[in-house]
């Protein structure tokens, strides 16, 4: 009952008229509501485009409720179309890379990334390091995206012929990583390599204390990190506006709770706004 009362109070607060960013002249309530609707649609669409959900973005754009017909002079600055969908090819490319990561096909994800986004400006290490507790195979695949060329120590493979194929591939990959990051002294990279190599110490890594590194659920944050790195390399935000708004709301709610604002206990940003 208290929660219902609180939400009724929140919803009863009138929204200020939203002015066009291109003019200082006041606009009508109808134009303001249309502008607000457009802004909300833009938030949702930008989130879908950011993560490369091309099909969903197109469907949402196609089915979005049309804005009411009002005086065009009042609608200056309100988008009537969806320019976010103009770069459809880029969105599809990022979706293909994301799908490859989620499927665990890191070699293919690396190949696609280097094909579609060969820019030397893209540095994925920082993003990959932040997911050091996720699927180790996926993490290292993402970490090595920008390593287009590396020295291959052909002689080290000679002693691997008698080993199990999977173990041989793991050791081969370990040697390559050690070579790629030989001169990288960042703690997050060193710790990640240490975790990866520790998997070889167990006969059944999936039952070991580091089994979480092989959990497929760790692929999604890695896919998100790689997607963000690609967008940043293009001069775009690493985080979509909708996610920024969510994070800001969460921080505000946490601060209200810290300052003993009792009513904040009745608001759950995730449950009330997303679920």
Q: Calculate mean pLDDT across residues 35-59.
A: 82
Alpha carbon distance 69, 31 (integer Å): 9
Q: pTM for the full model?
A: 0.61
Domain residues of the chain, as ranges? 14-86, 89-233
Q: How many CB atoms lie within 10 A of CB 221?
A: 18
C-alpha–C-alpha distance, residues 245 and 240, integer Å: 9
Residue 15: strand, helix, or coil: coil
Note the pLDDT of residue 99.
Answer: 92
Rg (CA), the chain: 24
Tokens of 107: 């070699």
Over the range 189-214, which residues count as b (16 or more CB within 10 Å of their CB) and which as e? Answer: beebbebbeebeeeeebeeeebeebb
Q: Are 199 and 181 in contact (CB under 8 A)?
A: no
C-alpha 107/C-alpha 112 separation (Å) is 9
pLDDT at residue 183 in the model: 82
**pLDDT of the residue at 145:** 40
Residue where the block lists tokens 């695949």: 141
Looking at residue 28, what is its pLDDT?
54
More confident residue, 17 or 147: 17
pLDDT at residue 153 in the model: 42
Top mean pLDDT of 14-18, 105-109, 246-250 is at 246-250
> CB of 196 within 8 A of CB of 142?
no
% of the chain with per-residue pLDDT over 70: 63
pLDDT given for residue 84 in this prediction: 52
**Overall average pLDDT of the 5-28 stretch:** 59
What proportion of the chain, given as a percentage, has pLDDT over 90?
3
Nearest residue to 213 via CA among 229, 171, 221:
221
Q: What is the rounded average pLDDT for all residues in the chain? A: 69
CB 3 within 8 Å of CB 264: no
Per residue in 161-183, pLDDT (tens digit) is 444 566 677 677 777 777 877 88
Does residue 84 or residue 255 have the better pLDDT? 255
pLDDT one-digit tens code per residue, 65-98:
444 443 443 333 334 445 555 557 888 899 999 9
In this predicted structure, the answer to whether residue 59 has a pLDDT above a threshold of 80 is: yes
Distance CA 142, CA 232 (A): 15
Mean pLDDT for 211-228 is: 82
Of 247, 42, 270, 20, residue with least CA distance to 255: 247
How many whole angstroms separate alpha carbon 177 and alpha carbon 179? 5
User: Quick count: other Cβ atoms within 10 Å of Cβ 104?
Assistant: 14
Q: By C-alpha distance, which of 112, 176, 160, 104 is closest to 137?
A: 104
Picking from 83, 82, 71, the residue whose alpha carbon sits closest to that of residue 32 is 71
């Amino acid at each position: 009952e208290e929660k219902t009362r609180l939400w009724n109070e929140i919803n009863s607060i009138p929204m200020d008229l939203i002015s066009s960013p291109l003019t200082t002249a006041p606009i009508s309530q109808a134009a303001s509501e249309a502008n607000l609707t457009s802004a909300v649609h833009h938030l949702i669409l930008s989130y879908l485009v950011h993560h490369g959900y091309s099909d969903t973005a197109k469907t949402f754009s196609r089915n979005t409720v049309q804005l009411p017909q009002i005086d065009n002079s009042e609608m200056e600055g309100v988008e009537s179309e969806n320019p976010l969908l103009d770069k459809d090819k880029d969105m599809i490319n990022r979706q293909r890379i994301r799908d490859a990561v989620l499927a665990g096909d890191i070699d293919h994800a690396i190949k696609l990334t280097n094909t579609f986004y060969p820019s030397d400006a893209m540095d994925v290490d920082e993003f990959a390091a932040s997911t050091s507790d996720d699927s180790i195979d996926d993490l290292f695949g993402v970490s090595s995206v920008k390593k287009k060329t590396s020295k291959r120590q052909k002689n080290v493979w000679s002693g691997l012929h008698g080993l199990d194929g999977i173990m041989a591939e793991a050791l081969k990959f370990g040697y390559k990583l050690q070579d790629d990051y030989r001169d990288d002294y960042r703690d997050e990279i060193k710790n990640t390599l240490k975790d990866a190599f520790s998997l070889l110490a167990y006969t059944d890594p999936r039952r070991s204390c580091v089994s979480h590194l092989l959990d497929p659920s760790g692929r999604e944050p890695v896919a998100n990190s790689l997607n963000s790195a690609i967008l940043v390399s293009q001069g775009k935000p690493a985080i979509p506006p909708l996610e920024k708004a969510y994070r800001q709301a969460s921080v505000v709610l946490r601060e209200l709770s810290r300052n003993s604002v009792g009513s904040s206990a009745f608001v759950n940003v995730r449950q009330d706004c997303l679920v």
